[in-house]
Structure 1
Amino acid sequence: MNISKTVKYFFPKLIVLLLILGVIIFPKESIESAKSGINIWVNILIPSLLPFIIGANLIVSLKVVDILGAIINPITQFTFNVSGKSALVFAISAVSGYPVGARLASDLRFKNDISTYEGQRLVSFCSTSGPLFIIGAVAVGMLNNSYLGYLMLLCHYLGAITVGLIFRGYGHEKSNKKNNSIIANIKTLIKTPEEESFFVSFGNSVINGVNTLLAVGGFVIIFSVVFKILTLFNIINFISYMLCLTFSPFGLTKEICTAFISGLFEITIGCNNIINSTGTSQVIKASLCSFIIAFSGLSILAQCCSFIAKTDINTNIYIFNKFLHGVFAAIYTFLFYPITKTYLPVSNFNYIYNTIYNNNFINQYFYNFKVFLLVIVIIYIIFNLYFLYKIKD
């Protein structure tokens, strides 16, 4: 019998048995961790996410996202080497968050609307968190800093775009580009009759939003219990100790390492633990939160992979994409963190961080970043106008 197949068959079953045994041995601790997960779900996730999820469902059903997809269609073709149908997936993923992007990409591949390679390229950048989770739940609900939330959101999308650019040549194939104008695509959408009335769409959006949050709550609670049991078995402590030995020169304590590992299981619990940890500067907390939000944690990875595994898109490459997304999001958050301040922060991180920012050019950039931002926007608009003109030719 093949050893690898035997291990692959029995390993998940042994993990489940270990967790059930942990619940039996530590019933009190399991209940307390479940209560902690419920507390996060009720006090942070429901008030911050439910209105946005309902609104996002309405945006999709009322075809607002379809119009957005038509607008960004030429950009995604040129930038990420994906077809026009894939542009909509990126738009919905950016609005709705996990795991919608992975599900839609899998649906396109399952229906054979895109190739295997294009599906792989698509999931590399179309699996993102939603804006309100980062801004509402993490930045406002946990960090009490909305400005930092906007920065983390920007870095989250920049990380996804960076991974998409890296994988744009995956499979060595080019998408078929259509020369239809944006206005023509929008007119086609307008002429297409709507399947449901507004009130039916609104009712379905509310029902789907509540069901989605119930599923999210279930994942938060179960992974809270799983993390607690693994901690009681000293598995998390051992991993934290090894991680702390590796990154202690960068000022990371064992407490922050343990909190970070919890985020690898479930992002809401991890972000909450990281932010509540002591002895670590805010820039490091924000960067670590950006990593685990982009990586998405085992709970969301399991949801996304359940869709992807139904197709021939490689789940291992997808998980690697999410790891890269986390790395880039964390780096961008660390580099752009001073934008949220009116002065350059002095951090305990300290020597490395201050060495990076302690020069006149970087100081001038951060003190005048609004001017630089305006210049970047102007360049972006000029580029898109030029690109659209080339398409018409």
Structure 2
Amino acid sequence: MTFKKIGGPLLGFILAGCMLLMLLHPEASLAAALRGLAIWWDVLFPSLFPFFVISEIMLGLGIVHLFGALLDPLMRPLFGIPGSGGFVAAMGYVSGYPVGAKLTAKLREQKLISRIEGERLVAFTTSSDPIFLLGAVSVGFFRDASLGLILALAHYGSGLMVGLLMSFHGRKEQKTPTQDPTKSSSDVPSAPAKQGFGRIHAALLAMSEARRKDGRSFGELLKGAIQSSLQLIIVVGGLVVFFNVLMELLARAGILPSLFSLAGSLVSLVGGPPELAQALISGLFEVTIGARSAGEAASSIPLQFKVAAAAFILSWGGLSVHAQVASILNGTGLRYLPFLTARLIHAVLAAGLVVLLWKPVMGSGLSSAWVSLPASTAFTPSASGVTASLALLSLILAAALLVSLLIPVFMAMLRLMRRS
């Protein structure tokens, strides 16, 4: 009997069990649902919804196509994706999950990326946002702003490493890379100075063509962006509430304590403190609960192990985020398994980087210098935090554009030097 044949009845049996537990523990289920709703309303809605709307509008205006043409020399050699993936990466790292998946799905719908390129892109652009990592986790859960630096280095550094590793994904399946529609032989002058101007001209043409094809007025574009963003943010909220209730029901049924015990034994085998099992299992389901459990773990546990557990949880994302991404990718042809594999690699790399960088970062005074920077306090769940995220987005895109524009100029100069 295949898994598909038993999968349906098994899922029905599990859901029936959950319904029975809800009837037996109605007050606990309601309290868990309210906690999930509070997380959605207080944290996720204000931090994600503006980026959902902005990304939709930028797609309609052709700005993504503009960045796609400009960033192609940087993104394709490094990550095996077209330049439009650079914009997705910047938005994903600044605004957090599941914005990267949403934009990847949009690019896939517009046929700007292939299936393999989409799987590469969503695999390494799904990450925590700085507001949550620096504000909620470092300051809120661990009550130590100096931990923000090592968490950021481990989480985002390992994310880029995953992007480099994912460039090898699907090479045998991918016959030819997606072609940049703005490229032609006439667009690439031989002189280094014209190289950059030619690409800028082609990028502006791509933006104009995308805007012409969209054809909607700004008012229609804004209305559509708000409608689609509301639909997605409601799905995100529903999944957060569902997984909060599910965890409460598993705890009431005695299943979670058994999972804690099993995880504790596994953690001990790899040399970690078994007391972190509760945080890791909680983070398996929901990232916020898991990160909070890591921060509130027993004081007898070495701090570096608690931070490593938090980095693991942030990079894994929790089954709640996995369900959000799976719902977004549904119908795009992008497979879930590469995403799952990338999350596991990201989690292990992030935890390992915390351990490796602990002494160099925390023992060198860098963490103390970090606390004095405005960035250590700007990323909080507030209006100033959103402003700081937008500023960071602009900085990342500007740096990526500068590097991307300099690459063809540098290559052209090398060719001229070889000829001479």
TM bucket, shorter chain = 0.7 to 0.9
Q: How does 1:86-101 map to 2 (within 5 A)?
A: 86-101=85-100
Which residue in 2 is equivalent to 1:175? Answer: 177
Aligned: 1:260 with 2:260? no
What's the % identity of the aligned pairs?
A: 28
Structure 1 alignment gaps of length 5 or more = 346-377
Distance apart, 1:209 and its partner CA: 6.6
Distance apart, 1:29 and its partner CA: 2.1
Contact 2:107 2:113 in 1 (8 A): yes
Q: 1:332 to 1:57 in 2, by over 3 A?
A: farther
Distance apart, 1:38 and its partner CA: 3.8
User: How big is each residue's C-alpha offset from its partner over 1:70-129, in whole Å with a ceiling of 9 and x where there is no partner?
Assistant: 443211111012223433332332333222322333344445443333333233223333
Which residue in 2 is equivalent to 1:234? Answer: 254
Q: How does 1:351-370 map to 2 (within 5 A)?
A: none
Aligned equivalents of 2:121 and 2:36: distance in 1? 32
Distance apart, 1:258 and its partner CA: 1.5
Q: How does 1:72-91 map to 2 (within 5 A)?
A: 72-91=71-90
Aligned: 1:296 with 2:317? yes
Amino acid at match of 1:260: L
Q: How does 1:1-393 map to 2 (within 5 A)?
A: 2-45=1-44, 68-170=67-169, 171-172=171-172, 173=174, 175=177, 181-188=198-205, 214-248=234-268, 250-254=271-275, 256-279=276-299, 280-337=301-358, 338-340=360-362, 342-343=364-365, 385=406, 388-390=409-411
Select the structure with the greater relative contact order (CA < 8 A; seq sep ≥ 6).
Answer: 2
User: How big is each residue's C-alpha offset from its partner over 1:207-252, in whole Å with a ceiling of 9 and x where there is no partner?
Assistant: 7776655544333222111011111222221121111112226342
Amino acid at match of 2:324: Q
Contact 1:74 1:388 in 2 (8 A): no
Q: 1:91 to 1:305 in 2, by over 3 A?
A: same
Amino acid at match of 2:101: A
Q: 1:246 to 1:229 in 2, by over 3 A?
A: same
TM-score normalised according to structure 1 size: 0.75
Amino acid at match of 1:226: L
Aligned equivalents of 1:50 and 1:117: distance in 2? 28
Question: RMSD of the alignment, in Å?
Answer: 3.7
Amino acid at match of 1:271: A
Distance apart, 1:342 and its partner CA: 4.8
TM-score normalised according to structure 2 size: 0.71
Aligned equivalents of 1:81 and 1:41: distance in 2? 34
Aligned equivalents of 1:58 and 1:136: distance in 2? 28
Larger displacement relative to structure 2 (263-272 or 245-254): 245-254
Q: 1:138 to 1:54 in 2, by over 3 A?
A: farther
Aligned equivalents of 2:225 and 2:361: distance in 1? 36
User: How big is each residue's C-alpha offset from its partner over 1:275-306, in whole Å with a ceiling of 9 and x where there is no partner?
Assistant: 12223333222222222222211111112112
Structure 2 alignment gaps of length 5 or more = 188-197, 368-398, 416-420
Q: 1:77 to 1:3 in 2, by over 3 A?
A: closer
Aligned equivalents of 1:37 and 1:247: distance in 2? 28
Aligned equivalents of 2:217 and 2:363: distance in 1? 46
